[in-house]
Amino acid sequence: MAELPIAYVAVVGAGADVAPALLAQAETVGALLARQGAVVVTGGLGGIMEAACRGARMVGGTTLGLLPGEDRAAANRWVSVAVATGMGELRNGLVVRCADALIAVGGEYGTLSEIALALSAGTPVVGIGSWEIEGVRVAADALEAVALVLDVAAA
Amino acid sequence: MAELPIAYVAVVGAGADVAPALLAQAETVGALLARQGAVVVTGGLGGIMEAACRGARMVGGTTLGLLPGEDRAAANRWVSVAVATGMGELRNGLVVRCADALIAVGGEYGTLSEIALALSAGTPVVGIGSWEIEGVRVAADALEAVALVLDVAAA
Amino acid sequence: MAELPIAYVAVVGAGADVAPALLAQAETVGALLARQGAVVVTGGLGGIMEAACRGARMVGGTTLGLLPGEDRAAANRWVSVAVATGMGELRNGLVVRCADALIAVGGEYGTLSEIALALSAGTPVVGIGSWEIEGVRVAADALEAVALVLDVAAA
Amino acid sequence: MAELPIAYVAVVGAGADVAPALLAQAETVGALLARQGAVVVTGGLGGIMEAACRGARMVGGTTLGLLPGEDRAAANRWVSVAVATGMGELRNGLVVRCADALIAVGGEYGTLSEIALALSAGTPVVGIGSWEIEGVRVAADALEAVALVLDVAAA
């Protein structure tokens, strides 16, 4: 395995009804992370999760999908390795636990729960058009978000 | 078991370094909920969790403590029934899942994760001096908080 | 809370299609444990779980039901405090983790998983008409099972 | 993703103090499964888990390691994708839930819990020198074990 300081990065956001501009950001985030050798961790479903996985896989990366249900078939087609946790929204905590950093792209309450769990654990959080909670680093776009994550890793 | 519309209510907040005024609110919340016959659900530790449990037990109520660690002895002394989940912060999701409504008293990131998970699940959330996230009903004190919870139950 | 050496005891077994003689044993086990002041922990459903809870409640005891699903209404009517874990069979591990000792009454594969997890954790296991795995203490009936559990506690 | 009938197979067994002959079987099992295109799922630690992962990786396969602790560094070096669940032995249930079939090689009580959970869920179980519980298909060696798994898949 690669010995990167930031080896697993979660990309979190809504699973549906996402603005195209945010989907594009998520896809670019996935690609940039994969090029750095990071495993891209998501909740495995659609929307932001699928866009991030697609970006990562397009450049040959690896994606881990932690699904809420028990059926692996619910994973989007860009998930390399799927874990059908059957734990419902408790899997949000697993997404956070697996990750060395978290990038939130837009997102609803589920995303907010992941941001809060990450901040509580001391895991760096970067947001693109997401919840502006104290502690979240705000990035204008995918490039800045990934740069912020790498900055944290180098610090 | 009582067949109340709101039978289990979670009281969430920080486990330490809590202002005395908030502790007093949490204790009153616990007592008022217990008088309504509700089981008071908490994370089982100190601070707001302990105050809510103490309030509930003082009036003869029942409290459920869902601990992060594997050691039941970590429960505060006012927990009636303790579940040492050994799941760390994933237990926040269990606290939310067990509850028909959630009252947040102050609180840090862990509390925010519980608020977000509850809102995501459609569980009513009332806050006293807590995170003012869209969807959280703001109460000035314990009496108003419990009244809001009962209003929701009657609706 | 009582400060017994064995404060929480799990009673595990099948949820349906149980021989009446085993149901009677489970009910007696529940009553005897409750008289010792122990909280009776079960998976919260029918069959052996319900019988043990009924026995405990009949003598004024407290029962904790850790349900596999997200719906508290699935709990049998003798559960004092219900936790709707929503974790499916992963809740078997929680039943074991909560308990200082485990009494298995009959039981299918799910029961075997609980026996194995308990033995793996070093938690004493007593069986009545159950799986005869090395490490399981075999009891002829409820009285002997509870006596064996108390023996372990005193050791 | 490959659309195999049996896409994820768990290989379970002890993490230490394993006879060399069993380690060799586990390594061969891993290699044969990977050649069939299956993702090899393990608990991510040493012993049988490590041997199965090594076999799979040696032939270019993918391995998923579901660790009990919160530290990804505990994974053996042949794990492709690690999930540090922080759930302790509850992760045994996740290993089973992720898998379309389970091959047990030797093993202690933890392994027995996985066998029992798999049988309870209707997941096929093959054992090599493992627990001979009703429902477990017994294989003499790695070749037979993988053949039995493929037979089940084709049925």
pLDDT digits (tens, 9 = 90+) for C10-21: 999 999 999 999
- Give, in order, the Cα–Cα distances in Å from C52 to each of A81, B97, C49, C67, C144: 42, 25, 5, 15, 16
Answer whether residue A1 shows pLDDT above 60: no
Share of chain A above pLDDT 90, in %: 92
Please say whether the beta carbons of C88 and B107 come within 8 A.
Answer: no
Q: Tell me which of A140 and D154 has the higher pLDDT.
A: A140
Which helix (H) or strand (E) covers residue A49, if one does? helix A48-58
Mean pLDDT, residues A41-50 taken together: 98
In this structure, what is the dihedral angle of CA atoms B73, B75, B77, B80, given to the nearest 10 degrees? -110
Query: What's chain D's Rg over C-alpha atoms?
Result: 13
Phi, psi of A132, rounded to the nearest 5 degrees: -100, 70
> Tokens for D56?
């799979």
**Nearest residue in A to D38, CA atom:** A81
Give me the helices (H) in chain B, please. Answer: 20-35, 47-58, 91-98, 109-121, 142-154
Amino acid at residue number D53: C
Q: ipTM beyond 0.90? A: yes
Share of chain C above pLDDT 90, in %: 92
**What span, in angstroms and rounded, lies between the C-alpha atoms of B97 and A91?**
13
Please say whether the beta carbons of B83 and C95 come within 8 A.
Answer: no
Give the lowest-confidence range in A108-117, C78-87, D145-154: D145-154
Answer whether residue D5 shows pLDDT above 70: no
Q: To the nearest whole number, what is the mean pLDDT of chain B? A: 95
pLDDT score for B151: 86
Answer whether residue B48 shows pLDDT above 50: yes
In Å, how far is D67's CA from the nearest CA of chain B? 13
- Residues B59-75 pLDDT 10s: 999 999 999 999 999 99
In Å, how far is A80's CA from the nearest CA of chain D? 7
| A71 burial type by CB count under 10 A (0-12 exposed, 13-18 middle, 19+ buried) | exposed
> Tokens for D22?
């069993």
Nearest to D33 by CA among D1, D65, D6: D6
Mean pLDDT, residues D71-81 taken together: 96
Q: To the nearest whole number, what is the mean pLDDT of chain C? A: 95
Strand partners, D39: D8
Give the lowest-confidence range in B121-130, B132-141, C146-155, D140-149: C146-155
pLDDT band at residue C6 using 50, 70 and 90 as cut-offs? low
- Give, in order, the Cα–Cα distances in Å from C147 to each of B132, B141, C127: 54, 50, 12
Share of chain C above pLDDT 70, in %: 95
> Tokens for C132?
């005869």
- The secondary structure of residue D77, as a DSSP letter, is T
- Residues D24-61 pLDDT 10s: 999 999 999 999 999 999 999 999 999 999 999 999 99
3-state DSSP call for residue D28? helix
Nearest to C13 by CA among C55, C58, C59, C62: C55
pLDDT score for B152: 82
**What span, in angstroms and rounded, lies between the C-alpha atoms of D53 and D11?**
9
Please say whether the beta carbons of D10 and D99 come within 8 A.
Answer: yes
Beta carbons of D81 and A85 less than 8 Å apart: no
A117: chain B residues, CB-CB within 8 Å: 89, 92, 109-110, 113
pLDDT score for D152: 82
Mean pLDDT, residues C106-118 taken together: 97
pLDDT score for D2: 40
Beta carbons of B98 and C79 less than 8 Å apart: no
Give helix A91-98 / helix B91-98 axis angle, nearest 10°: 160
For residue B120, give every residue at least 6 positions away whose Cβ sits within 8 Å of its Cβ, in sequence order, or none. Answer: A89, A108, A109, A110, A112, A113
> Tokens for D151?
């037979």
Mean pLDDT, residues C144-154 taken together: 89
Answer whether residue D6 shows pLDDT above 80: no
Q: Would you report the helix, strand and coil content of chain D in percent, each value rounded to 5?
A: 45, 20, 35
Which helix (H) or strand (E) covers residue C125, if one does? strand C125-128
A98: chain D residues, CB-CB within 8 Å: 72, 82-84
> Tokens for D123?
């997941």
3-state DSSP call for residue C74? helix
Beta carbons of D93 and C92 less than 8 Å apart: yes
Answer whether residue D155 shows pLDDT above 90: no
Query: What's the start-to-end Cα distance of chain A, in Å?
Result: 22
**What span, in angstroms and rounded, lies between the C-alpha atoms of D97 and D100?**
8
pLDDT band at residue B6 using 50, 70 and 90 as cut-offs? low
Share of chain D above pLDDT 90, in %: 92
Answer whether residue A155 shows pLDDT above 90: no
pLDDT score for B1: 42
Please say whether the beta carbons of B82 and B89 come within 8 A.
Answer: no
Q: Say whether residue C109 is in contact with chain D using an 8 A CB cutoff.
A: yes
pLDDT score for D151: 86
Neighbours of B, requiring at least 3 CB pairs below 8 Å, are A, C, D
- The secondary structure of residue C93, as a DSSP letter, is H
Please say whether the beta carbons of C60 and C78 come within 8 A.
Answer: no
pLDDT score for A152: 82
Spell out where chain A has E strands. Answer: 8-12, 39-42, 63-67, 81-84, 101-105, 125-128, 137-138
3-state DSSP call for residue D82? strand
Beta carbons of A64 and D83 less than 8 Å apart: yes
Among D8, D86, D97, select the one facing A97 at the smallest CB separation.
Answer: D86
Candidates D91, D96, D102, D120, partner chain C, best to mutate (most C CBs within 10 A) = D120
- Residues C31-86 pLDDT 10s: 999 999 999 999 999 999 999 999 999 999 999 999 999 999 999 999 999 999 99
